[in-house]
Structure 1
Amino acid sequence: LAMTGTAKKMQPSGKQLNQFELNFLDSCRKIGFSDETIIRSQSYANQIVKQIMPYAKKDRYNRISNYPRYTPLNTEGSWYPTPPAFFSPVEPYFNTVRPFFIDSAKAFRSVPPVPYSKEKNSPFFKLLTGVYTDGGSGLTAETKEIAAFWDCNPFALKNEGHLLIGLKKISPGAHWIGITGIACQKAKVDFSKTLQIYTVVATGLTDSFISCWDEKYRSNRIRPETAVRNLIDPNWKPMLQTPPFPEYMSGHSHISSTTATILTYFFGDNFSYKDDVENKYGLKSRKFKSFNKAAEEAAISRYYGGIHFKDGIENGVKVGVKIGEYIVNELQANKIKPLK
């Protein structure tokens, strides 16, 4: 109730949660909750909402719409919108939002990306030919499955004649929220601890995205799809549709590493599980021996999908881990303990 009450005030589409809330209360009555308990719960939830909203209003997200429209840089090697829809860049000012754990978006910076170059013996061109091959003709059934499983692109489209139809997919963050739920259910975590773990994961994801987006729009690096078409093969298409924002660093690599570090703290390393989050979107489950193994696969999936360079992935992992470790240190300092 606190979640829906907050979301109804923060989201433009918040009213759509009214029916969800009614259905939830009906389910509570069916399993034995009395009207008195429900009324008390609603009152307590409203108190939580009143505490959260003033804090949320100061996070600076509501100022983003006041910034000038972002225009891609007209310089060689810089990001430019990609097909099929050539979307405007997503959240170019997200680095201005207040984080939860880290001090600022600039607290964890990466080394710069490999410099753009047209020279065929340059480090950049080697990165480019690598993703062109491994994200193209070098794909196997296994690497295709990995790329599809971790695609998580809510902006994906498909062509239907002269129309572009949106595909129903979850975001990378939502995928890891789903994994958190799977882990809590498998470990039979009680309600209070489950809420705590979800909260840490959600706020950790946010901080990781803020940090990553700070780098994306500082580096403004060209996507493999654009560079390959300009320098190697004008007809090349990566397996995955390229998301509408700069390449460096890989967001999925970044946030997956942060979240895996947090979940490993709570559940321990070598916590095996079956990830069925993507079943409802027509993809098979995948089994993992640990959260870190899952994060490694999520990271390399962007290379197989043809949407990221190797250095964008590898450095995304490094910074994501550092943020995760920082958050774990904060948890320990505040005596938030892992599961026994």
Structure 2
Amino acid sequence: MKRFLLIFFSTISMVWAEKPNPAQHLQPSVFAVTMVMIHDVVNPPAAARFYSYCLLGAQEFVSRNDSKIPSPTRLARDFKKPDLSSVQSYDYALAATYCILETGRLILPSGYMLEEDQKKLVEKWLAEGQPQPTIDAAIDAAQVMAKHVLAYALTDRYNQLSTRLRYRPVKGEGYWYPTPPGYIEAIEPHWKTIRPFMMDSCSQFAPKRPVTFSRDSSSNFYKLAYEVYQKGKTLNTDHRFIASYWDCNPFAINTSGHMMIGFKKISPGGHWMNITSIATTQAKLSFNRSVFVLALTAMTLHDAFISCWDEKYRSNRIRPETYIQQQIDKTWQPLLQTPPFPEYTSGHSVISTAVSEVLTYLLGDRFAFTDTTEVIFDLPTRSFQSFRQAAEEAAISRLYGGIHYRDAIEQGQEQGKAIGLFVIAKVKKAGVKSF
């Protein structure tokens, strides 16, 4: 009898050990969304918006099955609980994973590309032994949830952006206008009108006013510009690599004679979404917690971009490239291509600091990790001792790249930290403690 029980429990243990881990399909699903956005050359603020909606339904599925994970209704403004009464019993982890791809399919410009990823996901589930009826029920639930999320997304004023007057650069000294080589029009000048998920308003975390513009060589503004100029002329190998590593410019253009060649890259938010995926996998978080961390990262990015873009088009400050060529050295070129929007504050500084604060709260202030995000762009991996260290490097990389003044970086970090602490207070109130 004892021998029988031993064999029985050993067999059960083997079955439990072999049970598929739903989290193994989470990171690839988020990355599939990333790849479509790279294909579509989605701009940084819009990318954060798409990530948020793609993960919103997944978080709702998880919260319905785990009391420790708050529903998006407790964090996202105006989000209402979807009615899933029409759906039969379903596996919530399968539904949550499929919902990421289904929402992306519906909301992204080239969302149809995710149909192949959905097909492959179903094939993997079948290979793992998931019954077809279980898969079908999960897909049905995911489709209902995705439609609910899409209806919610349609109320955030995104579709009204195209109806607004075309943006024209402000005339006068000290203001931004398009830069070479593409002279691309201003990106998302009305982004402040988009509904935030957690912030009260776009201006809730408005930074200090930027240093006043001046052409006087003894002025503080001239000194800021001269620092960028000097740094650009004395960059060492490490600084060049750091600038390139955090470039994350979806608008990159290379010129060859009269020909312009565009290079598709990951967005700044996409880089941090991948870091979050790496961290949740390394920390061996449960599927439920991983979904929540990813969803919260996305919403933090979204709100941080709204806050940053509100300031960019309020101060409308001239880029270093323009000022330095006018006032210091007409032959000077920044290491990185100047992005097509005003300078103050630094977007990298705002969003990186905000997300690093949230991840630090959830996963710890000494969470060492190796970032593999840029490998697909032929850059090596890079290791960090903490999220804050990575955010610090992302911020200063913009000075090395010659595209931001120091005050835009430092005030951007202050702005981002305030947003991050605000998000942390929200999740604390919702009952979420560090993992």
TM-score by length of 2: 0.77
Q: Which residue matches 1:252?
A: 348
Deviation, 1:185, is 1.0
Deviation, 1:48, is 1.1
Deviation, 1:258, is 0.3
Counterpart code for 2:201: S
Q: Which residue matches 1:5?
A: 102
Q: Which residue matches 1:95?
A: 192
Query: How far apart are the structure 2 equivalents of 1:32 and 1:83?
Result: 55
Counterpart code for 1:174: G
Counterpart code for 2:391: A
- Does residue 45 of structure 1 match 2:142? yes
- Does residue 309 of structure 1 match 2:428? no
Query: How far apart are the structure 2 equivalents of 1:156 and 1:28?
Result: 38
Of 296-305 and 34-43, deviating more is 34-43
Q: Which residue matches 1:175?
A: 271
Counterpart code for 1:309: Y
Q: Which residue matches 1:55?
A: 152
Query: How far apart are the structure 2 equivalents of 1:337 and 1:12?
Result: 36
Query: How far apart are the structure 1 equivalents of 2:99 and 2:293?
Result: 17
Deviation, 1:159, is 1.4
Deviation, 1:160, is 2.8
Percent pairwise identity: 45
Query: How far apart are the structure 2 equivalents of 1:204 and 1:39?
Result: 33
Counterpart code for 2:364: G
2:383 partner SS: strand
Q: Which residue matches 1:21?
A: 118
Counterpart code for 1:315: Q
Query: How far apart are the structure 1 equivalents of 2:141 and 2:423?
Result: 29
Q: Which residue matches 2:169?
A: 72
User: Which structure is larger by alpha-carbon Rg, 1 or 2?
Assistant: 2
Query: How far apart are the structure 2 equivalents of 1:81 and 1:69?
Result: 14
- Does residue 104 of structure 1 match 2:104? no
Q: Which residue matches 1:264?
A: 360
Q: Which residue matches 2:33?
A: none
Counterpart code for 1:247: E
Deviation, 1:329, is 0.3
Counterpart code for 1:106: S
Query: How far apart are the structure 1 equivalents of 2:133 and 2:257?
Result: 56
Query: How far apart are the structure 2 equivalents of 1:168 and 1:160?
Result: 17
Query: How far apart are the structure 2 equivalents of 1:320 and 1:97?
Result: 18
- Does residue 337 of structure 1 match 2:433? yes
The equivalences for 1:215-294 within 5 A come to 215-294=311-390
Q: Residue 12 and residue 169 in structure 1: after superposition, are their counterparts in 2 closer, same or farther (change >3 A)?
A: closer
- Does residue 138 of structure 1 match 2:234? yes
Q: Which residue matches 2:223?
A: 126
Counterpart code for 1:155: F
Q: Which residue matches 2:51?
A: none
Q: Is the 8 A contact 1:204 1:258 kept in 2?
A: yes
1:164 partner SS: strand
Query: How far apart are the structure 1 equivalents of 2:134 and 2:322?
Result: 58
Deviation, 1:161, is 3.2
Q: Which residue matches 1:319?
A: 415
Counterpart code for 2:345: M
Q: Is the 8 A contact 1:168 1:281 kept in 2?
A: no
Counterpart code for 1:83: P
Which residue of 303, 308, 313 maps to 1:207?
A: 303
Query: How far apart are the structure 1 equivalents of 2:178 and 2:262?
Result: 17
Deviation, 1:250, is 0.1
Q: Is the 8 A contact 1:275 1:285 kept in 2?
A: yes
Deviation, 1:12, is 2.5
Q: Which residue matches 2:132?
A: 35
1:145 partner SS: helix
Counterpart code for 1:170: I
Which residue of 247, 254, 272 maps to 1:151?
A: 247
Q: Report the aligned-residue RMSD.
A: 0.9
Query: How far apart are the structure 2 equivalents of 1:12 and 1:196?
Result: 25
Query: How far apart are the structure 2 equivalents of 1:114 and 1:291?
Result: 29
TM-score by length of 1: 0.98
Counterpart code for 2:192: N
Query: How far apart are the structure 2 equivalents of 1:115 and 1:39?
Result: 61
Query: How far apart are the structure 2 equivalents of 1:242 and 1:154?
Result: 11
Q: Structure 1 unaligned segments of length 5 or more: list them.
A: none
Q: Which residue matches 2:40?
A: none
Query: How far apart are the structure 2 equivalents of 1:109 and 1:286?
Result: 32
Query: How far apart are the structure 2 equivalents of 1:272 and 1:17?
Result: 32
Of 167-176 and 31-40, deviating more is 31-40
Query: How far apart are the structure 2 equivalents of 1:241 and 1:28?
Result: 43
Deviation, 1:201, is 0.2
1:278 partner SS: helix
Query: How far apart are the structure 2 equivalents of 1:291 and 1:265?
Result: 10
Query: How far apart are the structure 1 equivalents of 2:310 and 2:271?
Result: 22
Q: Is the 8 A contact 1:276 1:285 kept in 2?
A: yes
Counterpart code for 1:50: K
Deviation, 1:169, is 1.1
Counterpart code for 1:214: D
2:373 partner SS: coil
Deviation, 1:300, is 0.2
Q: Which residue matches 1:82?
A: 179
